């Protein structure tokens, strides 16, 4: 699979695409990382599906011309991406912030999308960090972006049991993030829970969730906003990145879910 590029809403979007299959699995990565995190999934599913992984604007090999780092902006970009490539029967698989982009996308385009899978994100739906904590993190980012990113990643996304190679890879990607993108993106993310709950309440498609057990899931919060319109799958793991930590287990869970969809 070679790197491709397409112009979408003023950005050059980099993506990987095997260009074959009637059902498309569209993989959306989380904040501060890139499409390469999905390499194992792209290889596994490419035999039976069209598989695509994009670099969101401001990430990987995509450009960052438009200074708007909000969920609706990303949703418009991915919706346009789906339209430009004339993708049909799309199952979006979103990791972390990519899950929010997925929700924003399906509110714009609910005709071409047939399935939604979120990975390790909606563990406390509607839960906002206290303003004091957010202010402290933002102040730290402004003062020393790299050190604060490393501290945040180690506290929230990794554990002491995480493989050192995964830790090194993630911290390198976090430190390489452009602060002019990273800071507003994180600030928006911290303020996102109210928007997320509204989008979930209006969701027509069933939401499939895969959560890693290094941190607990408040399933009551999923029920509160989705009722019975979700299905939760849990897997063993030590960090927020099952696609690189336990690819085979994640692939098996995804295959189970995709078959249901």
Q: Does any domain span residue 179?
A: no
**Would residue 85 count as lying in a domain?**
yes
Q: Is the pLDDT of residue 130 over 90?
A: no
Output the pLDDT for position 129.
84
| Segment 4-24, tens digit of pLDDT | 999 999 999 999 999 999 999
Query: pLDDT for 205-234, tens place per residue?
Result: 999 999 999 999 999 999 999 999 999 999
Structural domains in the chain (count) = 1
In a domain, 177, yes or no: no
Question: Does the residue 165 lie in any domain?
Answer: no
- Among 245, 177, 183, smallest CA distance to 210 is for 245
Say which residue, 8 or 1, is predicted with more confidence.
8
115 within a domain of the structure (yes/no) = yes
Q: 70 lies in which domain range? A: 3-127+193-260
Could you tell me what percent of the chain has a pLDDT over 90?
Answer: 90
Indicate which CATH number applies to the domain containing 31.
3.40.50.1820
Q: Which residues pair with 3 in a beta bridge?
A: 16
Q: Within a domain: residue 36? A: yes
Average pLDDT of the chain is 95
Report pLDDT digits (tens) over 138-186: 899 999 999 999 999 999 999 999 999 999 999 999 989 999 999 999 9
In a domain, 202, yes or no: yes
**Res. 86: pLDDT tops 80:** yes
74: in domain: yes
* 221, two tokens: 């919060």
For residues 121-144, one letter each, b for 16 or more C-beta atoms within 10 angstroms of the residue's C-beta and e for the rest, the string is bbbebbeeeeeeebeebbeebeee
- Give the model's confidence band at 109: pLDDT under 50 very low, under 70 low, under 90 confident, else very high: confident
Entry pTM: 0.97
């Amino acid at each position: 699979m070679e790197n491709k590029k397409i112009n979408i809403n003023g950005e050059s979007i980099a993506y990987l695409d095997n260009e074959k299959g009637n059902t498309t699995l569209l993989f959306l990565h989380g904040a501060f990382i890139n499409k390469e995190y999905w390499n194992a999934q792209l290889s596994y599913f490419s035999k039976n599906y069209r598989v695509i992984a994009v670099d969101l604007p401001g990430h990987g090999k995509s450009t960052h011309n438009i200074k708007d780092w909000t969920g609706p902006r990303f949703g418009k970009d991915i919706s346009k991406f789906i339209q430009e490539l004339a993708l049909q029967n799309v199952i979006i698989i979103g990791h972390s912030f990519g899950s929010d982009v997925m929700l924003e996308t399906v509110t714009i385009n609910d005709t071409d999308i047939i399935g939604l899978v979120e990975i390790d994100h909606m563990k406390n739906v509607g839960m906002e960090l206290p303003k004091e904590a957010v202010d402290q993190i933002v102040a730290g980012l402004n003062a020393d972006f790299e050190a604060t990113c490393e501290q945040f990643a180690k506290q929230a996304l990794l554990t002491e049991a995480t493989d050192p190679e995964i830790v090194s890879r993630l911290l390198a990607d976090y430190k390489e993030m452009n602060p002019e993108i990273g800071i507003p993106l994180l600030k928006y993310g911290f303020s996102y829970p109210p928007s997320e709950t509204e989008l979930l309440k209006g969701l027509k498609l069933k939401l499939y969730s895969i959560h890693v057990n290094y941190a607990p899931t408040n399933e009551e919060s999923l029920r509160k906003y989705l009722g019975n319109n979700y299905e939760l799958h849990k897997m063993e793991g030590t960090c927020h990145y099952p696609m690189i930590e336990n690819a085979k287990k994640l692939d098996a869970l995804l295959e189970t879910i995709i078959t249901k969809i």
